[in-house]
Structure formats: structure tokens, C-alpha cells
Amino acid sequence: MNDAQTVARILLKEKAVFLRPNDLFTWTSGIKSPVYCDNRLLISTVESRETIVKAFCKKLENLNLQFIAGTATAGIPWAAWIAYEMKLPMIYVRSSSKDHGRQNAVEGFAPAGSRCVLIEDLISTGKSSIAAAQKLQEADLKVLKVMSIFTYGFAQVDKIFSDAEMSFESLSNFDILARVAYDDKVLDSKTLDQVIEWRKGVVFP
């Protein structure tokens, strides 16, 4: 079992990703979905989160990073754990600048030109991830890539990141998770095909 399958199995076990193909969730965007993701649950599970942090570190160890950045708020604990394991300093990006004091969008200190990676818990449409990465770039930091625990793998996301000239990677994705769910008898073959087709057909504004 590779790391992507291991992470997918953790997400299912901890109910951080919940499949409900016969009773669809409605996302805030209005999209009807057979899956709901709440990776915040993972911060309360010591063994599972340690496995995920190790998977992140394995992906990042050869990038010659100088900083680990996290998105507020979901990316902050993961960025902190990764920074600790890799013995690197950490910063985080606010969803919006403070309206008082120095009005920082990026908290912590990183010298101009520092090489960093941005940690998210989830890449959905990719828009908020890119917005956060651009704030790092505006602070004169070099964002090598955006990394997340999980992504749905929507086709539009590839284009959105490409248009922003940004690289991204996730530890696991929806198709892998769906196949793990099938292997573990959570989904039957017909439902597996249905949820994969759902993922392929999603279009968002």
C-alpha cells in the first residue's frame, strides 16, 4: 500500500472524508456531492496525524525549503508539525489582512526571497489556495508549491493552478479514496463508478 492509499484509508477511518452517495450533501457553492470533507477532525487523532505529517515530510525533504507556510486556520497545525519535524521556521497566511496594527497578511517573519511551501488541509476549487499563495508572493517569498492532505481532483483545478503559474500536490485524492473505499467494501462497483463520474462532471463558477 502506497502513501496515497494509506492517507485515503486514514481519511475514511477517521471520518474526515465521509461518503454518502445515496443522500447527497449540498456544499456552500450549491454543488450536490456524495462526499464531504472535514480534515479538521484529524488534528485530534495522534497516530493518524503523525502518519500524515511523515507523508508530507517525505514529499518535501528534497525541495531545499527555508520556511513552511500554513493557511489560516486549517493549514496552521499541519504547517507547525511539519516545520517541527523538518526543523524549519514557520509562517502563516491570513484569509484577510488585519484591519489594525501593521495589517499583516503574512504572520511571522521570513526574509525576502525565502523558499517556502504552502500547506493546506484540502484543495477543493483551488481558488483560496492560490489567493493565499499570492499573498506570500506579494511578501517577496518564493512559493515552490501548494500542498494539501486531500483534493477532489476536479479538472478545473489543474487549469486554475496553471493559469496562476502555480504548482500543487496532494497526499491523496478522491479517485484513490473511492477505490480504497471499494476495496474495503464501503462502496460496491456500481457506486464506485457513479462517484467517479460525479467527480469528472463537476463544474464550478
Between β-strands 67-71 and 32-33, what pairing exists: parallel, antiparallel or unpaired? unpaired
Which residues in the chain show pLDDT less than 50? none
DSSP β-bridge partners for residue 117? 68, 145
- Tell me what pLDDT residue 97 has: 60
Q: Which fold has domain 3-201?
A: Rossmann fold (3.40.50)
The predicted pLDDT at position 33 comes to 96
Give residue-wise pLDDT tens across range 18-35.
999 999 999 988 899 999
DSSP per-residue string spanning 17-44: EEE-TTS-EE-TTS-EESEEE-GGGGGG
pLDDT score for 146: 99
Please report how the helices 155-163 and 127-138 are oriented relative to each other, as an axis angle in degrees rounded to 10: 20
Q: Are the CB atoms for 134 and 99 separated by under 8 Å?
A: no
pLDDT of residue 30: 86
Residue-range domain boundaries for the chain:
3-201
Global pTM? 0.95
Identify the pLDDT of residue 28.
Answer: 84
pLDDT of residue 95: 83
pLDDT tens by residue, 31-60: 999 999 999 999 999 999 999 999 999 999
Please report the pLDDT score of residue 98 as a whole number: 53
Phi-psi bin for 153: left (phi > 0), alpha (psi -120 to 50), beta? Answer: left
The three grid cell numbers given for residue 182, joined into one nine-digit string: 471499494
